[in-house]
Structure 1
Amino acid sequence: VDYWRGIIDGDGSLGITGKNLPFLGLVTDSDNLAEQFVSFLKNITGKNKTLNRNKRDNIYNILISREDAQKVVKKLYYKDCICLDRKKNRAKEVMSWKRPKNMIKKTYKVREWGKKEEKFILSHSITESMKKLERTRSSVETRLWRLKNAKNSIQQVEENIQCKN
């Protein structure tokens, strides 16, 4: 925890957005640091984060908000921890946030995709996939998009390697 607080103190951000939402974020170019940070977040929040580099800068911009941000900030900025004063003040702001009564909290569990399901949607229509796998159109379309883009990314990397050799 102390390690990650040092990372956030130095390279991270936390506070309240212009829309009055608490957040915690880290921007990094390091694959390893991004993967480890997402793992750290999952250990606290229980939620998986999908890692993708942003299109503009080709870096990771890892962000959590609301109660998830509060959970992590509570672990990072415990009583009498050594940290930057300005970050500790921001941590207090994050911890004092209360969800407005009119803000609905989504309480659904994300279903992971298995290899068999991925294979099925690649060889069947969206409608067939929705019925057979009991998933929404949005879920099937998003997974198809991710699978196709992952293949394109792998092909691009392989082509770049071949060009260099």
Structure 2
Amino acid sequence: MVLDPNVPHVAYFVGLAQTDGHHSGDLRGKGRLEIELSARDAAVLERLAALLPCYASVGRRTRTTNFSRSRVHETAILRIYDRTVRRELAALGVVVGPKSDKVAPPPVPCSRTDYWRGVVDGDGSLGFTAAGRPFVSLVSASPALTQGFADLLHDVTGAVRTPRPNTRDGVVNLMVQSNEAAALARWLYPDGCELALTRKRDQAARVRAWRPPAGSEHRYGVRQRAWTPQDDSVVLDPGLTQAEAARRLDRTMSSVSMRRWRLRQIEQG
């Protein structure tokens, strides 16, 4: 095995390749993996090319588009052809062919912070709403990836989010704001993190530094309580209605309903 997902740059590469990459060809024959980013993000591709255990080239491409004032868009492209590396990437979740609804977190332990930073660098957003509240979000059509991100949000921030595809195009948009966004940005982009898109790392620094306006801390101080085994036994008690369980746990009915659904999904497996 040449790719260890517990190594930070490998985990980050997997997350970025799943979101901004394209894996084509045949794992038993010829093929290639490409990651194409704006030229302003070329530094992270060059750094990855130097760290990966195979030959990886970084080239430039200039296109004429209708989406910018200059109509000229320059990109940087990392390319890998090594069959062994591509096979291992596929086993870690960088699927061959169309991927938007198929990617999933690696099926083996990995450097979790670096993996999710790669995912957010690819398909996530960080910034501030019109009202001045910081946010971190992820948009994806993959049920496995969005459920994994929802689990991450709960683990890191305590926020409960349910991946629900929209009716227009079937994608899921998961977002946290305010204190939860600041906590997630601190976790995803810690001081000294080497691999990250510069523009998103800069935005993350602004989100991390956010504090509630003076005098309004109480509006942002609500924290989700972690679920305990005792709580779960109440949620699953067949002799209690959702309303009764919510009263006993001092929680909302919607949170009890979501917790019951999640526990049953875990049981089913």
Fold similarity call, TM over 0.5: yes
1: CA distance, partners of 2:204 / 2:223: 27
Q: Larger Cα Rg: Structure 1 or Structure 2?
A: 2
Provide the residue aligned with 2:136 in structure 1: 24
Aligned with 1:134: secondary structure? helix
Whether 1:100 and 2:100 are equivalent positions in the alignment is: no
Kindly state the Cα deviation for residue 29 of structure 1 after the two structures are TM-superposed: 0.6
Tell me which protein shows more helix as a share of its residues. Answer: 1
Which amino acid in 1 is paired with 2:202?
N
Provide the residue aligned with 2:166 in structure 1: 54
Which amino acid in 2 is paired with 1:92?
A
Provide the residue aligned with 2:39 in structure 1: none
2: CA distance, partners of 1:48 / 1:12: 18
Q: Deviations over 1:21-52 (max 9, x none)?
A: 11100001101101111122222113332222
Provide the residue aligned with 2:182 in structure 1: 70
Provide the residue aligned with 1:114 in structure 2: 235
Alignment gaps of 5+ in structure 1: 122-128, 151-165
The answer to whether the Cα contact below 8 Å between 1:11 and 1:27 also exists between their aligned partners in 2 is yes
Sort the Cα spacing of 1:31 and 1:100 in 2 relative to 1 into closer, same or farther, 3 A.
same
Alignment gaps of 5+ in structure 2: 1-112, 262-269
2: CA distance, partners of 1:13 / 1:80: 18
1: CA distance, partners of 2:238 / 2:168: 32
Provide the residue aligned with 2:203 in structure 1: 90
The answer to whether the Cα contact below 8 Å between 1:15 and 1:23 also exists between their aligned partners in 2 is yes
Identity %: 29
Kindly state the Cα deviation for residue 71 of structure 1 after the two structures are TM-superposed: 1.1
Kindly state the Cα deviation for residue 118 of structure 1 after the two structures are TM-superposed: 9.1
1: CA distance, partners of 2:142 / 2:181: 22
Cα RMSD after superposing both structures: 3.1
The answer to whether the Cα contact below 8 Å between 2:159 and 2:176 also exists between their aligned partners in 1 is no
2: CA distance, partners of 1:9 / 1:16: 16
Tell me which protein shows more strand as a share of its residues. Answer: 2
Sort the Cα spacing of 1:134 and 1:17 in 2 relative to 1 into closer, same or farther, 3 A.
same
